[in-house]
């Protein structure tokens, strides 16, 4: 039975900052784990406008807050406001988890390894596979850098060309794989998909409230694809529904969300949180709201 620990002068604070922030699942996830493990910690969400980001980081350090997350739109801007950034996060150009250690703020990108773990846990083999990523934003950067050393080749489809060109150029510096950039339209996607093993959606298409939309026409999908949709609200997106009808193996975004949180949690507390229970709790909570 979990013990209720009342807030006291000993309670330690963790938090997330973003703008907007009320949609975030992180307070629910971390507070559940703190309670489950009997830790006298609380996790709060702060809406921080970009103009106040620098000030808020100074404040977090001054208040000796030991760990925090950042989300949209601060994942990139915060790179220049902390003391150290690990190699993978530097390559990605974004961080989502920070720890205060011996007076230094250290940044990591736990989205990257959380996403890779979600794929592996779903039984997806990534070694020497051909991957197609839809989108070239922050999540695409995280997952592509996490996978690039294992996979055989990568195709990236994006709506606008500048972002995708920068991503492809950065990835080639890490590993000289075959990386192809294509337009985000059915004709270009159809030409590539025949050879592809893993299709990853990193665009917000299909995300609540636009839950009937899919980023790719179901007519061009094939049953040998493993489909990973990073969107986690709804749990089963239109893309995943269509993937399942065709007979594709698939993974949704919720496992990645939980994994990125668990990696940060373990880093901050040196304790392992429960992964399976929190998934059910999040789904229950989503049904209620």
As annotated, the active-site residues are: 75
> Binding to ligand NAP by residue 179, rule CB under 6 A?
no
Interface with ligand NAP includes 111 (CB under 6 A)? Answer: yes
Does the footprint of ligand NAP cover residue 175 (CB under 6 A)? no
- CA 180 to chain CA centroid, Å, is 23
CA 74 to chain centre: 14
How many residues sit close enough to ligand NAP to count as binding (CB under 6 A)?
25
Dist. CA 216–CA 6, nearest whole Å: 49
Among 97, 257, 262, 278, binds ligand NAP (CB under 6 A): 257
Q: What is the CA radius of gyration of the chain?
A: 19
Choose between 56 and 237: whose C-beta lies nearer to ligand NAP.
237
Task: CB nearer to ligand NAP: give 158 or 238.
Answer: 158
The nearest distance, CB 61 to ligand NAP, in angstroms, is 25
Cis peptide before 35 (omega within 30 of 0): no
**In this chain, which stretch among 52-60, 169-177, 196-204, 267-275 interacts with ligand NAP, using CB under 6 A?**
196-204
Kindly state whether residue 253 participates in binding ligand NAP, applying the rule CB under 6 A. yes
Rank residues 5 and 122 by Cβ distance to ligand NAP and give the closer one. 122
Kindly report the number of other CB atoms within 10 A of residue 272's CB atom: 11
Distance CA 172, CA 176 (A): 5
For residues 17 and 56, is the Cβ–Cβ distance under 8 A?
Answer: yes
Decide: 85 and 286 in contact? Cβ < 8 Å.
no
List contacts with ligand NAP (CB under 6 A).
Answer: 72, 111, 135-140, 158-160, 163, 184, 202-205, 207, 230-232, 253, 256-257, 260
């Amino acid at each position: 039975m979990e013990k209720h620990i009342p807030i006291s002068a000993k309670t330690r604070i963790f938090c997330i900052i973003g703008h907007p922030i009320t949609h975030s699942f992180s307070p629910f996830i971390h507070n559940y784990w703190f309670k489950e493990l009997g830790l006298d910690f609380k996790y709060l969400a702060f809406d921080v406008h970009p103009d106040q980001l620098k000030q808020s980081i100074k404040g977090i350090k001054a208040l000796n807050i030991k760990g925090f997350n950042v989300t949209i739109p601060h994942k990139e801007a915060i790179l220049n406001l902390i003391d150290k950034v690990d190699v993978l996060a530097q390559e990605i150009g974004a961080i989502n988890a920070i720890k205060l250690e011996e007076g230094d703020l250290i940044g990591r990108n736990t989205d990257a390894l959380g996403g890779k773990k979600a794929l592996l846990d779903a039984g997806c083999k990534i070694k020497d596979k051909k991957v197609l990523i839809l989108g070239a934003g922050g999540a695409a950067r995280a997952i592509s850098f996490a996978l690039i050393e294992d996979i055989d080749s990568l195709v990236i489809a994006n709506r606008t060309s500048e972002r995708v060109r920068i991503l492809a150029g950065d990835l080639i510096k890490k590993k000289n794989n075959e990386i192809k950039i294509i337009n985000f339209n059915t004709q270009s996607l159809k030409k590539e998909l025949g050879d592809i093993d893993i299709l990853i959606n990193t665009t917000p298409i299909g995300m609540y409230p636009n839950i009937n939309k899919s980023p790719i026409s179901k007519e061009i999908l094939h049953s040998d694809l493993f489909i990973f949709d990073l969107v986690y609200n709804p749990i089963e997106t239109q893309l995943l529904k269509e993937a399942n009808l065709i007979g594709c193996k698939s993974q949704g975004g919720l496992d990645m969300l939980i994994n990125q949180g668990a990696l940060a949690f373990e880093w901050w507390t040196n304790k392992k949180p429960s992964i399976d229970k929190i998934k059910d709790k999040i789904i229950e909570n989503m049904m209620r709201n």
